[in-house]
Amino acid sequence: MENRSDSGLVRLAAEGDVKAFETLITRHRSAAGAYILSRVPNREDAEDIAQETMLAAWRNIAAYNGGSSFKTWLIAIARRKIADLYRSGYANESAELDCDMPDGDIYCDENGLETVAVAADLSDAIKRLGGGERELVFLIYRAGFTYEEAAEITGAPVGTIKSRMSAVRAKLKKYLGEGYNGL
Amino acid sequence: MDYNCEEVTELLPLYFGGGLDAQGRAAVMAHLAGCKNCRIEAAAALKIVRACEEAFPEPDEAFARFEFPESKDAPEESTGAIETLTQAVEIVIDAFTITRKAVRLAQI
C-alpha cells in the first residue's frame, strides 16, 4: 500500500478502502499538521481542526477529481476549516491580522498592532510576519507548493502570490545575506 | 528547458525542498551557473527554507491521529496479477500527469 501513488490510493479510498485513506493521511499528515499549527496557536483547537479536516477529506474523497495534488486539496480543506473557526469569533483571531508593511523592522505583535521589533534571527522574523504573509511563506518554502498551487489554496491570483512573495523577501532581506537586494 | 530569472526565483524553494524532478533541477543549476543575481537569490532561498524548518516545526507523533467516526470493512484482497496490473496503470497515469505539469511549467 505504501508504494502506491496518491492517485491510486485516492481511487481505493473512494471505494471505501480505509487502509488506503490512512496511508494517504499518514503521507500528508505532517504538512497538513504543520500548516494547521502555524495558523491555530492553541494546541487543542489545532487538533480539532486537524480531525475536522481529515474527516471532511474522508467524507468527500469521492468528489476529489485529481485536478490538483491530494496535498493541495487537503490543505485547502484545512484552510476552509480554519476560516470557519475565525469567522465564529475565535479568541485568537488577532494572530491572523496581516500587517502589510514594506519596512522589514515593523511587524505585527500578538495584538495585531504594528510594532518596531528586532527579530532574533530569520526564523523569528518569519514567525513575526503577518498572518497572510506567514501562510504564504509556509506554503512556498515549508510545504513546497508551487505559486500556482498556493494560488489555488488561498484563492488569490498567481500574480498576487508573486508580488506578495517579492514583498516578503524584501521584508526579510536584512537576514538574507550580504548583497541581497531581492527580485 | 531554459528558465529566466523570474522562473528560477519561483522554483528555488522547490529546488531546495526536493520538489523538482531531475530535469527541473538540471535546468535551475544551469541557470545559476551563469547568473550571479540568481545565485544570491538562491542563497537567500536556502536560508528561508532552513529557517522555515525551525519556524514551522514538524508536528509531534501524537498530533492529529485520525480516528474514523464509524468502522469500515476493508475490501477483499485482490489477486496478485490484478494488483500488479493496477499498479502499472497507475504508473502510466501518473507519468502522463507529471508530463502535463512539466509542459505547463515550461510554458510559464
Q: Does A25 touch chain B (CB under 8 A)?
A: yes
Same domain, residue pair B40 and B1: yes
Range of the domain at B95: 78-108
Same domain, residue pair B49 and B90: no
Same domain, residue pair A35 and A79: yes
Q: Out of A54, A138, A183, name the one closest to residue B9 (CB).
A: A183
CATH number at residue A56: 1.10.1740.10
- Residue B25's pLDDT is 95
CATH number at residue B35: 1.10.10
pLDDT band at A103 (very low <50, low <70, confident <90, very high): very low
Residue B72 lies in a domain: no
Q: Compute φ and ψ for A15, nearest 5 degrees.
A: -90, 5
Picking from A106-110, A122-126, B1-5, which range would have the lowest pLDDT averaged per residue?
A106-110
Q: Does A15 touch chain B (CB under 8 A)?
A: yes
Residue A108 lies in a domain: yes
C-alpha cell at A142: 515549508
What is the ipTM for the molecules in this complex?
A: 0.79
Residue B67 lies in a domain: no
Last residue within a domain, chosen from A39, A58, A87: A87
The closest alpha carbon to A118, from A105, A127, A108, A128, belongs to A105
Same domain, residue pair A105 and A78: no
pLDDT band at A119 (very low <50, low <70, confident <90, very high): low
Q: Does A23 touch chain B (CB under 8 A)?
A: no
Q: Are A183 and B5 in contact (CB under 8 A)?
A: yes
Q: State yes or no: pLDDT of B42 exceeds 70.
A: yes
Question: How confident is the model over A120-162, as pLDDT tens digits?
Answer: 789 999 998 988 999 999 999 999 999 999 999 999 999 999 9
pLDDT band at B5 (very low <50, low <70, confident <90, very high): very high
Same domain, residue pair B86 and B49: no
Same domain, residue pair A69 and A107: no
Same domain, residue pair A75 and A110: no
Q: Are A9 and A20 in contact (CB under 8 A)?
A: yes
Alpha-carbon gap: B85 to the closest alpha carbon of chain A (Å): 12
Same domain, residue pair B34 and B87: no
Residue B3 lies in a domain: yes
Same domain, residue pair B32 and B1: yes
Q: Are A171 and B19 in contact (CB under 8 A)?
A: no
Q: What is the tally of structural domains in chain B?
A: 2
Range of the domain at A49: 6-87
Residue A66 lies in a domain: yes
Q: What is the tally of structural domains in chain A?
A: 2
Last residue within a domain, chosen from A29, A55, A87: A87
Instruction: Give the separation between CA A35 and CA A29, rounded to whole angstroms.
Output: 10
Last residue within a domain, chosen from A87, A112, A131: A87
Residue B89 lies in a domain: yes
C-alpha cell at A163: 508580488
8 Å CB contact of B45 and A141: yes
Residue A92 lies in a domain: no
Residue B28 lies in a domain: yes
Residue B70 lies in a domain: no
Instruction: Give the separation between CA A34 and CA A141, rounded to whole angstroms.
Output: 12
